[in-house]
Amino acid sequence: METHYIFVTGGVVSSLGKGIISSSIGKLLQARGYDITIQKFDPYINIDPGTLNPYEHGECYVTTDGMETDLDLGHYERFTGIQTTRGNSVTTGRIYQSVIDKERRGDYLGKTIQVVPHITNEIKRMMMRVDDPKHYDFIITEVGGTIGDIESAPFMEAIRQLKWELGKRAVSAHLTYIPYLKAAGELKTKPTQHSVKEMQSMGIQPEVLILRTEHHLDQPILDKVAMFCNVDTDCVVQSEDLPSIYDVPVNMHRQGLDAAILPKMGLPVGETPALGPWRNFLDRMHNAKEEVHIGLVGKYDLQDAYKSIRESLIQAAIYNDHKAVLHFINSENLTRENISESVKGMDGILICPGFGQRGIEGKITAAEYTRTHNIPTFGICLGMQMMVIEFARDVLGMKDANSREMDEATHHNVIDIMESQKNLTCMGGTMRLGAYRCALKDGSRVREIYGETEIQERHRHRYEFNNAYIDQYENAGMRCTGINPESKLVEIVEIPDLKWYIGTQFHPEYSSTVLKPHPLFVSFIKAAISR
């Protein structure tokens, strides 16, 4: 089968959920037996989101091959179980960089470089994944931003050209907003009509419309949108507010979104997929009544800043037949005086990753309190490093123990910069990124949790546990139970005498999916429930 292409765009406003819709389409096509991949094209000029503040862009997701990417790639992986790569995340910056590099090499033979055709051709090449040796039945491309944005224009032109070149092998799915005017008590379709007209003015006629709405849309509204937007009625579906993002694929399936797309591409609809495992997950989610309360100790009071961690905890709780209730605890405000009240009612504490000085003393305070009160504790990346620093200060007696990131003059640099990072001056894409091996020690809790002797997990860091202190930690009760076999980097620490006290240098949240929750999160939640 030739590769088919689905382009997902958004109109009226941003944050409508294009990533969730793209993931849902991918999931439904997978259920029909197709091999799919999903990619995100972002109009911003940054090469990647690696240097962006989480308040600007939310979480920075990391692929197995070490690319810092948009958080939507996390949705793609969680929904479909696919492993994304650097080819699944493309920005305007990467596109222009590629074109400029080619021009410098002389690839264009002295031609004047222009947006059309050179930039648009590069976009098309990347959208079609020309350099990817793997064959896909469907490539789903989500375009960031909204229709009408100046920076999106080259992407729209590339899509127009591809739809003309590929014919039925390319379909446009447009997600747009139907606002509700409370004072008038009316749902309004005009914004959607204008959004579609904007696409039409660019030479693109969407075949499928997904209407984002906070209120259920009756059939007359769907018919009206279909008529004024030149779209078949069965190709207009609604994406109304639902209790969980994981309900969306089933909702799209119930409305026949996948069955509407396939005929547009000249493909048979075939048998209706049962979505058995996914529905089983939803049943467990909807039937979970008991709550487990987890405190997230971090400095970003923003849901998207710790998106993958939040979803991993939610998934793990469901597989423990519980509902995760997550409480953000601002580490900047944590002190020895208020820590007891701040974590009151928490069944477990997760010390979040991050960078920089801000809020670290609060994380150290949290680590000390949970360690001494035997509260299940999970530290990730910087969170693990703060657990290590706290142990050095309060157990090993190294009162000035710190990370070289925070204090270059510390006499006890229990966390130090990695050798490979010492001479780097460029911030973007230079950390230890992507999947690395980790050998798990026999008899350790993590060895029992994983049920394997060696694992691979994804990283995003510059600083590491200082191996010069391993013996002191081991002798005092904090074991280094996960070691990279090549670099000897300490990847995991744990205190086996406590109920559950584990820190990981890597980010396990990046590899937790709906149908395959990460074992560390499942075990952590289980411990929190039984506390």
What would the mean pLDDT of 402-420 be, rounded to a whole number? 86
Q: What percent of the chain has pLDDT over 70?
A: 98
Q: Which of 57, 174, 253, 507 is catalytic?
A: 507
Helix, strand or coil for residue 246?
Answer: helix
Supply the CATH classification number for the domain 4-280.
Answer: 3.40.50.300
What would the mean pLDDT of 206-220 be, rounded to a whole number? 95
10 Å Cβ neighbour count for 498?
A: 20
Nearest residue to 255 (alpha-carbon basis) of 266, 247, 245, 265? 247
pLDDT in the model for residue 423: 65
Q: Is the pLDDT of residue 302 over 90?
A: no
pLDDT in the model for residue 15: 86
- The number of angstroms, rounded, from the C-alpha of 429 to the middle of its chain's C-alpha atoms is 17
Helix, strand or coil for residue 432?
Answer: strand
Helix, strand or coil for residue 454?
Answer: strand
Instruction: Please tell me what DSSP assigns to residue 113.
Output: P
Residues 6+ apart with CB under 8 A from 334: 297, 342, 361, 362, 363, 365, 366
Residues 6+ apart with CB under 8 A from 213: 177, 178, 180, 187, 238, 239, 240, 241
Are 472 and 396 in contact, with CB atoms under 8 Å apart? Answer: yes
Q: Which of 174, 390, 509, 518 is catalytic?
A: 509
Q: Is the pLDDT of residue 425 over 60?
A: no
pLDDT in the model for residue 457: 97
Are 318 and 285 in contact, with CB atoms under 8 Å apart? Answer: yes
What is the C-alpha to C-alpha distance for residues 311 and 74, in angstroms, rounded to an integer? 10
Radius of gyration of the CA atoms of the chain, in A? 25
pLDDT in the model for residue 424: 58
Residue ranges of domains in the chain: 4-280, 288-529
Quickly state the pLDDT bin for 301 (edges 50, 70, 90): confident
pLDDT in the model for residue 388: 98
What is the C-alpha to C-alpha distance for residues 107 and 95, in angstroms, rounded to an integer? 15
- 509 is known as an active-site residue: yes
Quickly state the pLDDT bin for 408 (edges 50, 70, 90): confident
Write the CA distances from 483 to 21, 105, 477, 523, integer angstroms. Answer: 39, 43, 17, 20
What is the C-alpha to C-alpha distance for residues 387 and 377, in angstroms, rounded to an integer? 10
What would the mean pLDDT of 257-261 be, rounded to a whole number? 96
What would the mean pLDDT of 379-406 be, rounded to a whole number? 95
Residues 6+ apart with CB under 8 A from 260: 208, 232, 234, 235, 237
Q: Is the pLDDT of residue 434 over 70?
A: yes
- 507 is known as an active-site residue: yes
Lowest mean pLDDT among 125-139, 219-233, 412-426, 498-512: 412-426
Quickly state the pLDDT bin for 34 (edges 50, 70, 90): very high
Q: Is the pLDDT of residue 419 over 80?
A: no
- φ/ψ bin of 81: left (φ > 0), alpha (ψ from -120 to 50), beta (otherwise): left
Lowest mean pLDDT among 57-61, 437-441, 484-488, 526-530: 57-61
Q: Which CATH class is domain 288-529?
A: alpha beta
What is the C-alpha to C-alpha distance for residues 531 and 520, in angstroms, rounded to an integer? 17
pLDDT in the model for residue 426: 60
Using CA atoms in the order 301, 73, 166, 94, what is the torsion angle rounded to 10 degrees?
80
- The number of angstroms, rounded, from the C-alpha of 80 to the middle of its chain's C-alpha atoms is 13
Q: Is the pLDDT of residue 418 over 70?
A: no
pLDDT in the model for residue 427: 57
Residues 6+ apart with CB under 8 A from 455: 437, 438, 440, 482
Q: pLDDT tens for residues 304-328? A: 889 999 999 999 999 999 999 999 9
Q: pLDDT tens for residues 262-300? A: 999 999 999 999 999 999 999 999 999 999 999 999 998
Burial label for 288, CB within 10 Å (0-12, 13-18, 19+), is: middle
Burial label for 237, CB within 10 Å (0-12, 13-18, 19+), is: buried
Q: pLDDT tens for residues 332-356? A: 999 999 999 999 999 999 999 988 8
pLDDT in the model for residue 51: 75
If you average pLDDT over every residue of the chain, what do you get? 94
Global pTM reads 0.94
Domains 4-280 and 288-529 share a fold: yes
Q: Which of 352, 381, 438, 480 is catalytic?
A: 381
pLDDT in the model for residue 185: 86
Are 328 and 334 in contact, with CB atoms under 8 Å apart? Answer: no
What is the C-alpha to C-alpha distance for residues 487 and 275, in angstroms, rounded to an integer? 43
Lowest mean pLDDT among 121-135, 255-269, 419-433, 513-527: 419-433
